[in-house]
Amino acid sequence: MESQPPNRCGHRTTIECFKSRELPDKFQRCYPFIRQIDVLVENSDQEAKLKPLVSNYERGKLRLSDLLDCAQTTTTTSYSNLLVVTTGVYGTEDVWCLDSRGLFILALTKESYEILGIVGAVMGNHKKSEYFHVQVDSRDRSAKVFERSKQAIERWEKQRFQNGHNGWDAIYHTTKPAALPFQRVEHTSHSAVCELTVLNDINIPKTSIESPPKMHKPPQPIDKDMLQDWNDSVSALFEWVGMACLGSQRLKANDSVDPYVGIYETPSPSRVGTLKHLRWRGLLPPAFAQMIIKAISNSDSQTSDFVAITMNMFTSSPVTYIPPNAFSDSSDGHGTSNQAVKSVSCWSAVAGQAAWIAAVDEC
């Protein structure tokens, strides 16, 4: 596991429930830096829809000051068509990203923060924390603060160059890579293609879980024992999904593991069947995730067919989740830029009997 700064220590998992038609909207813009998508399907038609999907991304060395010159947003939307994230270690190194709002977010060590000279926010719960966030809005170039920030970053990068740092190792995605006007060093193009694994003769749980007791209507007193049973059932289901994505032999119907070495039981009720595990890896933009989700949520497959999706984020990014209200349009079209954001490392969802059930791993 990657090292984390004080504000990312400890993990919390929250559960969401929503209708199938609501699922694609969850990923329209909120998760800008997805590094891996895993899909588990039973239906061959869903597999056929998913296998051809491909996303492209680039790797190379970039200068942040060059990006400040060229990053733009369209006049019809409040988010950019360029995503950039550096590959350093969040919490111990200087890292930054250009997110889907057109905002540059820098996470800096105390030394770099003091050299840069742009006012930011201390990270963590302690005033003496030595890690800081700085935000630069690329959408408002008329503002004096943007010009001052740009000049400060240019001076800082010149000093970094004198110390032997020739740009930033970064991963980026754009709809028009050939049209990028900034300088790229050691540039390589990559394609995130589907990796298919067939899981034969495994115990597949029946996703008969309904919404949690507290969500039932009309309102009625919550039975704590029922709620605990529901939480245990959901936790066991997502544990199974994780093991399936890892290709665990414990899921095999004929698994003959030594009981003194390890014992695992698939959530009941279950049945023996075959699943297709599809995986994409790289910098996967929200639009690509939305394509995958639409393919599995709009399918005509039987309700008994197993469907699950898991997405892992780039935890090296200063931003891993952006709340939907951060994209709400204001009178100037820029939307809200100072939203407090949580950090999400993983999002997973399973198609239940009446709705989708999702687990969000916040860190």
Q: What is the mean pLDDT of the segment spanning 215-227?
A: 68
**Among 122, 79, 70, CA closest to 103:** 79
- Is 78 in the same domain as 44? no
User: For 294-346, what is each residue's pLDDT tens digit?
Assistant: 898 876 655 678 999 999 999 899 999 988 777 665 434 344 444 445 789 99
What pTM did the predictor assign? 0.87
- The per-residue pLDDT for 24 is 66
- The per-residue pLDDT for 180 is 65
- Is 217 in the same domain as 357? yes
- Is 207 in the same domain as 343? yes
- The answer on pLDDT for 27 being more than 70 is no
- Is 175 in the same domain as 74? yes
- The per-residue pLDDT for 331 is 35
H/E stretch holding 201 reads: strand 195-205
**Encoded amino acid at 135, one letter:** Q
- Is 103 in the same domain as 151? yes
- The answer on pLDDT for 352 being more than 70 is yes
Q: What is the mean pLDDT of the segment spanning 260-269?
A: 80
* The last residue of a domain, from among 173, 190, 207: 190
Residue at 1 is within a domain: no
Q: How far apart are CA 172 and CA 194, in angstroms?
A: 19
- Is 179 in the same domain as 74? yes
* The last residue of a domain, from among 136, 167, 190: 190
Q: What is the mean pLDDT of the segment spanning 16-43?
A: 83
- The answer on pLDDT for 347 being more than 60 is yes
- The answer on pLDDT for 190 being more than 70 is yes
- The per-residue pLDDT for 126 is 46
- The per-residue pLDDT for 302 is 57
- The answer on pLDDT for 72 being more than 50 is no
Q: How far apart are CA 213 and CA 222, in angstroms?
A: 7
Q: How far apart are CA 175 and CA 178, in angstroms?
A: 9
Provide the Cα torsion 51, 52, 55, 60; round to 10°: 90
* The last residue of a domain, from among 190, 210, 230: 190
- Is 67 in the same domain as 162? yes
- The answer on pLDDT for 106 being more than 90 is yes
Q: What is the mean pLDDT of the segment spanning 145-156?
A: 90
Q: Which of 189-193, 224-228, 323-327 has the highest average model confidence (pLDDT)? A: 189-193
Instruction: Please state which of the ranges 3-17, 242-256, 261-275, 340-354 shows the lowest mean pLDDT.
Output: 3-17
Neighbours of 320 (CB within 10 A): 29
Q: What is the mean pLDDT of the segment spanning 68-79?
A: 51
Q: What is the mean pLDDT of the segment spanning 237-256?
A: 91
Instruction: Please state which of the ranges 211-215, 237-241, 268-272 shows the lowest mean pLDDT.
Output: 211-215
| % the chain with pLDDT above 70 | 77
Domain span holding position 246: 6-56+192-362
**pLDDT, averaged across the chain:** 82
- The answer on pLDDT for 5 being more than 50 is no
Q: What is the mean pLDDT of the segment spanning 58-87?
A: 73
Q: Which of 27-41, 272-286, 339-353 has the highest average model confidence (pLDDT)? A: 272-286
Q: What is the mean pLDDT of the segment spanning 125-145?
A: 75
Q: Which of 36-50, 207-221, 338-352 has the highest average model confidence (pLDDT)? A: 36-50
Tokens of 135: 């935000």
| % the chain with pLDDT above 90 | 42
- The answer on pLDDT for 254 being more than 90 is no
- Look at the alpha carbons of 51, 53, 58, 64 in this order and tell me if their dihedral is positive or negative: negative
Task: Provide Rg for the chain, Cα atoms.
Answer: 22
Q: What is the mean pLDDT of the segment spanning 123-140?
A: 75
- Is 199 in the same domain as 331? yes
> Number of folded domains in the chain?
2
- Is 337 in the same domain as 224? yes
For the chain, percent helix, then strand, then coil, each to nearest 5? Answer: 25, 30, 40
Confidence at 3, pLDDT banded by 50, 70, 90: very low
